[in-house]
Every structure is written in structure tokens, then in C-alpha cells.
Amino acid sequence: MEIRDEDKSNDDVQGPSLANKFSKMFSELEHCTESEQKAKIEEMNGLVEEMNKKELRTILLLKHVGYCNVLKNVWNPCFDSSSLGERFQKITEEEEKKEKEKNEKLLTDIYECNLLFYSGVPSSELLSICIPDLLKVALKKEESEAKQKEVEIALLDLSRIGKFYEIEKELYLKEITEIIKHQQKHRNLTKLAYQSAWQFFIYRFYNNGFLEDTITNELHFGREAARELEELTRNVNWKKKEEEMSKEEAKEELALMRWVETCAIYFQSCRLKNKDNVGLLKNIVRIYQAAKDNCRDIIDYCTYPLRNASENRVVKVEDLLNGEAVDTVLVEIQRQTLNERAVYNCLGFFENVSKRLKEKEDDEMEEVNRKATKRKMLEKMEEEGYEDTIASFHKAFRSFFKKNIELIYL
């Protein structure tokens, strides 16, 4: 990747900059042996220590490295304690302390880099500076490949701002709504960019129930997510292993997994019953069926939205049964390789369904339907001894709940 610095001095032109050396070495890491990688990383750390502040601004193109890591699902738990991470933190603190003339572009660049490496907890002041900057980039309508990449990275950065950050709607609501509506009309964003826009918005929904009508009825999340999932399901090559995929194929799979994750957050927060939700759950079931033989990671993702939808009553129990969600979870819970989180999701699904089937309906016709659904469910679970299978997991479920209480929230 070529690195450009608009502020180059004559001295910089005389030879390759430290940042260019760093970038070149990073690009070579993938093709090195483990011992060679360690040696290069040590040398790269040395280069970081030599860099002056101007060079550091150039190396903020590390956000592109972060972008590549996101595409490959690479986790970077040690970034905060690295020399570069510590330097970013120091510069951020210095800029935020300034009474005036803050370098907002520098802050946004550093913030983008931190987001892509999942580093640090941003202050409310930093969020108020960076979110409008990122949205300004994301609002660009040019369709050149370079501009699309800029928009994609800006939206990907925004999507990394987790659901636990409460953000004033004035910072984002008008702009993110415009981005989504423009995409629905023109379809000019990449799949990853569009998913990222929705993920940022759905995360805001977690803390702000007032967004429900906008997300569900005005922008039709359920319909849009179902449409994207259906298309991605057709495009993903389910027979290829991860290491065999091309860059574009891997990107399609990542977008699909992130859509499923976003659906889980939506169902965790949503309270409105909507026919679009039924179609969305059917698409998630189709993904499970397509992925079950070769894509374990995607299957694990699929259990989240099914659990959350059953808990928040966004569809009727008979929709879960007729849409094959019940069959899907029954098959999943019998897998010998089931991990603890999948056990939690599957058992949670059945506990939610069981509670709902025990509740009497005030409406006479609804009560008749409930009893018929309950009878059908019991027959299905007794057919092949599913009740014994589920009971055998309760010990693992209790152990998981005690040890990992913080992990039960997606």
C-alpha cells in the first residue's frame, strides 16, 4: 500500500520515510514464517519509537491495516499496551486538553485507528468531534472505487462504536437516516458499508427506544436485512473453507455474519411485532441450513437472533414453529461439538418458547391457537427424544451462566 503525506518536506523526498518502511514491512508479514514475523515485529517496534510527530500522522494509515484485520476477523488485544497504542493515547489526551485550536482531523484519524483495533474507551467529547466527521465522509455520493472505499471505512468505523455508548441523537440521526434512505433508492454502497450503517444505528437503538418506529416502520430494517441476507446467502460459496476464499468472497461472508449479528441486536431491543420480522427469521434459518456442513462460525452466530426473537416476542410462537426455527434449534442442540454459548442460546430459546406456551391468552381464538401450537411442539420434541437431549445440557448451562454472566449479552 502506497503511503502519501500531503505535508512532505524536501528531506522526506530524499529517501523512504520511516512510515513507508513500516508499511512495507507490515505488508510482508503475511508471507513470513513465525520466527521471521517475530523479528520483523521487533524491527517495526523500533521504527515506531524513531518516528516524530509528523511521521506518526502518516502512519495513521494504519487504519487501513485495521480495516484489513476486520475483514479477516483478526483480534488485537494487545494494541493498547503497544508503543504505538500508548503514543496514540498520549496525543489524544494532549489534544483534548487544549482549550482551543484542537487538531480535530488528527483526533478523528487516531480515533478511527483505535476503533478498527478495538482500543480504548472514547470520551464523550471525542465522540462529539469524530462522529460528525465520519458521517460527513460517509455521506459522499461519488461512486468511484476510491470514494466507495472511503465511505466503507468511515461506516465500518462507526459500526465499531458499541451499544453501551449513549450518543445524542443530534449527532447522527439525520445523517444516518439519509445514508440508509439513499442506499434504499440507489443501491450504490458496498454490502459491508450498508451493513455497517445499519449496525451503528441498531447499536443506538439498544439505549434509545424512541428509535424503534424509525428503524422498524420508516426504514423497514426487517425487510432490508432479509433482502441483504437472501442475496448474501446466494453469493457465499458454502463449500469453500476460509483459507480457500478470495478477498471478495471473504468480504461477502463477513458482511453476512455481521448482518446476523446486527439482527440479534435488533431482536434484543425490538418490541414491535411486525410481519417483516417473520421473513427475517426465515432467512436466518436458511443461513443455518446452508452453513451447517462447513461454516461453524456462522452457525454459532445464527443462534443469537433466534434466542432474542423468542424472548422479546417479536413474532408468534407458531411463526417460530412454521418458519422452522424450532427445527433448527432442535438439530443444533444435538450437535456433539456444541460450545457453551450455543448451549446457552439454544436452551434460552426453548425456555422462552416454553414460558409463552404456558401463558393463557385472553382472546378465545388466540387461546385455541396457543393450545394447538403447544400440542404440535410437544409431539415434535417427543418424536426423537429431544426432551432428554435438552435436559442433558442443563448442567452445562448452569455452569456457563455462573462463570460467564458477562457473555450472555451480545
pLDDT digits (tens, 9 = 90+) for 32-87: 787 887 788 788 877 777 776 666 666 656 777 778 777 776 666 677 777 777 87
Better-scored residue on pLDDT, 24 or 183 = 183
Listed ranges 72-86, 139-153, 324-338; the one with the highest mean pLDDT: 139-153
Domain count, the chain: 1
* Owner of C-alpha cell 467529547: 125
If you average pLDDT over residues 88-95, what whole number do you get? 82
Q: Does residue 22 form part of some domain? A: no
Q: Does residue 149 form part of some domain? A: no
| Range of the structural domain that residue 249 is part of | 220-410
- Answer yes or no: is pLDDT of 384 > 60: no
Q: Does residue 330 form part of some domain? A: yes
Q: Does residue 158 form part of some domain? A: no
Among 50-54, 236-240, 248-252, the least confident range: 50-54
Cα 334 to Cα 37: distance, rounded to the nearest angstrom? 41
pLDDT number for residue 171:
94
If you average pLDDT over residues 304-315, what whole number do you get? 87
- Answer yes or no: is pLDDT of 395 > 50: yes
Q: Does residue 288 form part of some domain? A: yes
On whether the CB atoms of residues 190 and 138 are closer than 8 A, the answer is: no
pLDDT band for position 156 (cuts 50, 70, 90):
very high
Longest Cα–Cα distance of the chain, Å, equals 85
If you average pLDDT over residues 229-256, what whole number do you get? 83
Compute, in degrees rounded to 10, the torsion defined by CA atoms 65, 71, 77, 83.
0
Compute, in degrees rounded to 10, the torsion defined by CA atoms 88, 93, 99, 105.
20
* Owner of C-alpha cell 434449534: 329
pLDDT band for position 27 (cuts 50, 70, 90):
confident
The cell for 234 is 446466494
Long-range contacts of residues 144-149, Cβ cutoff 8 Å, at least 24 apart? 148/188, 148/189, 148/190, 148/193
If you average pLDDT over residues 254-270, what whole number do you get? 91
List alpha helices for 139-240, DSSP H.
145-159, 173-186, 191-207, 212-213, 221-235
In terms of Cβ atoms closer than 10 Å to its own Cβ (0-12, 13-18, 19+), residue 291 is buried
Q: Does residue 57 form part of some domain? A: no
List alpha helices for 270-385, DSSP H.
275-291, 296-312, 317-322, 325-333, 340-358, 364-383
Percent of the chain clearing pLDDT 90 (strictly above)? 25
List alpha helices for 59-190, DSSP H.
62-71, 83-97, 104-116, 124-138, 145-159, 173-186
Q: Does residue 326 form part of some domain? A: yes
Q: Does residue 342 form part of some domain? A: yes
